[in-house]
Structure 1
């Protein structure tokens, strides 16, 4: 199943390379907010409710849970006075097991009435210790937060937990005053070059004035200059840029309109490392390699292994060198790969190293359809690997949903503008609205990545 995507033109690169870059702001280190999470000091800092008896056993917290309780919260182990800040990204992680296979819950919430929660996750426990990790953005600002393990609501058993951590990390959204509107996007460049065109005002108001991604690939020239220029301009404006890294070797290998990519594994690794380093400590959102995990149908086992190796390397680069970036490894769309299969592919490609995964890039599935798919992917991630990940949805062209076609189909419409929330962690215009998917559909003469005013107007009007 072929996918549309966007190729960036080089029109804005000369301007970007001429920018005077300001020093990146220092990265904020992650902060541990749980006390005595390794239980090296016994049970200090932790409490337990009725229907539990706790002790430390071989370095782990051991909680003997009474059976016959009605609700999960009838038997709890927790820590109070946990500081939380709204809008800050957190990762709760721990190692846990039980004397029998049971499902418990882990909760982060306000520790007083009305006990507002900001994380509530089921955890499937077995007799073998598993590592659990849950990323979330707090909706609470309080010094009276709680981290809880809710263990009731079933038969009696023994619960074990160790290495409990709640890390508060940098949040690129909180470090900026909003999403960056690219003044050199393809739509903005077209409007500037065609002020007398009757469509210019409509395209300016409906598309060019909105925040959207800039795509980077083998057309971008020196990648350090290109990325640093774009991110530096956004940082100077105190805005959050959206970038797409799209240069995996064998890109669109199964006969699509946007083939290409770096010439070798080594060349790609050099390129993606430079990309991450060019962002540095500045805030950014990055979508990593659209379609790379869906486009397996014409690849053999060795090619898939090489691709996974490159993607793992890419995720490590953003984890280690772009410290205020939320990177999302692309996970295809709701109509392409089964959710459980995609969860396995994301895991193998290193999604655990980055913020999360992206969905619906350059496609048309509704936000509701995509949210259902994203939640299914997360359900499989949790079942198989004991963690979930935030995800983002490309809403640039999903306002009317899909019609079964992918290449410049008629009757599509702009979706919700880039924003926080809306069903996913972020809704983003990843595909640049008005850029052609290829010489097909209602733009049979417009090459992939080339802006078409007619396509743009069709998306604005929805007809």
Structure 2
């Protein structure tokens, strides 16, 4: 698949001149069909997060901090002479957290100095395990921060903390502090809590290559570092009977009590006709295909990534009619998953950290139906670090919040981001495997979505390896970071 970054394309937030040239206005293109769609009810866990009553309770001030309500917000005066962020904490106790449950922490903050402080949701006693641990940079401008995460704790002794030591003397200002359970339509901890871990695909391209090449000196390393790790299986027009293919994969995972990750990759005009071009032959064929895909899921636990590149590549479609058609197909996919796959967490692909501006991406995701499903996916088949992807995801959520009044959890593809991005997207050298699939880690989930060792196309350090074909040389380079 292709993840373009700097192609000089016109952003999909259409300028007036482009509207005049192309027809319908951007508002017509971007307006989602949301009739009958209701955001999941959120449960607020923070007490007195807006300080409207003029009181600080139940917020506490720890060593080296003093708090008071000033002009409708909390002012936290921090003394100097501390070495570590936790030497000057403040926060709120008795936060109930459920293992596997998704949450969103949101707050508005500023400071009287340019400082970096730490925001956590954590266990309130040793070992202070923190499902959310974020450093934020503040100055005199009040900004809203939004951090989705999934708890790996089951406790009634959680805390929300702001740890502000080690930065000298200054004042921190807080307002609209909120910790909510995230929407998405799945009760409790969803499919993560229903299973005992992520599924390792025994028939992934790396696993098949290892079985067929046991005498190759590279086989044991590829088995240990890639083929034995949980990752996604991609489904498209090569999958044959899609209901049977999906059902077989999800059923195999369910038999061993593991959580499968699937990628639906069959949108018409896929990959702008480039290395991974193809897809369903018509809108009608796609609707039938994605409906059959969802039938294969049934009520079994699963994670689904919806159509990598399809939202970000709206720009390459030739006219507004085709862009509107694609958005309608993506909305249809989200509606099918929402209505017919009750134990699936679905994530609509949202590009990567250096492709589409966060505000534009938020508009596109809203138009494509992200409010119908669990959230969005970032960095699929790309190389940006988890930190870069998390920063971008937080910015997208800030735009979703300010424009539409909600935020969504997101996941990050870490399959090849161990060395970060070097400016190339197609089989670049010097990349490395990232952390394996897990809950939390900055996003709701970190996942191996791209299969490490599968080629991006006839390009880069694999000029003769077609897209989706496994290369042991690519795999070893990712293991070694060469």
Measure, in 1, the Cα distance between the counterparts of 2:420 and 2:258.
30
Measure, in 2, the Cα distance between the counterparts of 1:119 and 1:110.
7
Which residue in 1 is equivalent to 2:24?
Answer: none
Residue among 85, 92, 97 paired with 2:98: 85
Q: Is the 8 A contact 1:90 1:169 kept in 2?
A: no
Which residue in 1 is equivalent to 2:287?
Answer: 269
Q: Could you tell which deviates more after superposition, 360-369 or 178-187? A: 360-369
* 2:296 counterpart of 1:293: no
CA deviation after TM superposition for structure 1 residue 373, in Å? 1.3
Aligned length: 388
Normalised by the length of structure 1, the TM-score is 0.72
Which residue in 1 is equivalent to 2:423?
Answer: 404
Residue by residue over 1:79-98, the C-alpha shift from the partner in whole angstroms, topping out at 9 and shown as x without a partner, is x99965232246899xxxxx
Closer, same or farther: CA 337–91 of 1 in aligned 2, 3 Å: closer
Unaligned regions of 5+ residues in structure 2, if any? Answer: 5-39, 46-50, 56-68, 77-92, 110-118, 134-145, 161-171
Q: Is the 8 A contact 2:99 2:189 kept in 1?
A: no
Residue among 277, 281, 289 paired with 1:259: 277
Measure, in 2, the Cα distance between the counterparts of 1:372 and 1:88.
21
Root-mean-square deviation (CA, aligned residues, Å) is: 4.3
Which residue in 1 is equivalent to 2:440?
Answer: 421
Measure, in 2, the Cα distance between the counterparts of 1:110 and 1:362.
32
Which residue in 2 is equivalent to 1:456?
Answer: 475
Residue among 364, 371, 377 paired with 2:396: 377
CA deviation after TM superposition for structure 1 residue 34, in Å? 8.1
Normalised by the length of structure 2, the TM-score is 0.69
Pairwise mapping of residues 43-442 of structure 1 onto structure 2 (< 5 A)?
50-51=53-54, 68-69=71-72, 71=74, 84-89=97-102, 137-138=150-151, 141-142=154-155, 168-253=187-272, 255-299=273-317, 300-442=319-461
Which residue in 2 is equivalent to 1:21?
Answer: none
Q: Is the 8 A contact 2:98 2:189 kept in 1?
A: no
Closer, same or farther: CA 169–266 of 1 in aligned 2, 3 Å: farther
Measure, in 2, the Cα distance between the counterparts of 1:205 and 1:113.
37
Residue by residue over 1:371-390, the C-alpha shift from the partner in whole angstroms, topping out at 9 and shown as x without a partner, is 22111111111111121111
Residue by residue over 1:204-237, the C-alpha shift from the partner in whole angstroms, topping out at 9 and shown as x without a partner, is 1111011110000010000110000000000001
Measure, in 2, the Cα distance between the counterparts of 1:405 and 1:416.
21
Unaligned regions of 5+ residues in structure 1, if any? Answer: 5-29, 36-47, 53-65, 74-79, 94-101, 121-132, 148-152
Q: Is the 8 A contact 2:123 2:130 kept in 1?
A: no
Closer, same or farther: CA 90–317 of 1 in aligned 2, 3 Å: farther
